[in-house]
Amino acid sequence: MGATVPTSEEPPKPTIFSKIIDKTIPAKLIYEDEHCVAFHDANPQAPVHFLLVPRKIITGLSAVKDEDKMLLGHMMTVVDKVAREQRLDSGYRVVINNGPQGCQSVYHLHLHVLGGRQLGWPPC
């Protein structure tokens, strides 16, 4: 992908997601609290495809620290709440892309939540 991979020594830089969070870039949020926001993916890969993004800029899963445990746990409960609000009662998939070979394109941790149809495996 074309994104520059941040190093652990660099302070996190603003991302498109942080600009959505601070409302510099308009987006229709489907969920918002003091820890995270959710909005529909601009390039959906399923009938329902939303992103859940922490307000705190964590560059990726590899950059998570022990201090982030509560935030990540909170996000897991929010995923299910928003999925139910989006009528994904029959199931959904949660994906985290991490690093260049994991196809991470925005270096701000985010969860993809996909559903609304039968999803295949492997997810190619």
Catalytic site positions: 110
Q: How far is CA 114 from the centre of its chain?
A: 11
- Burial of 8-19, coded b for 16+ CB within 10 Å and e otherwise, reads eeeeeeebebbe
Give yes or no for a contact between 36 and 75, defined as CB atoms under 8 angstroms apart.
yes
Provide the β-strand partners of residue 29.
39
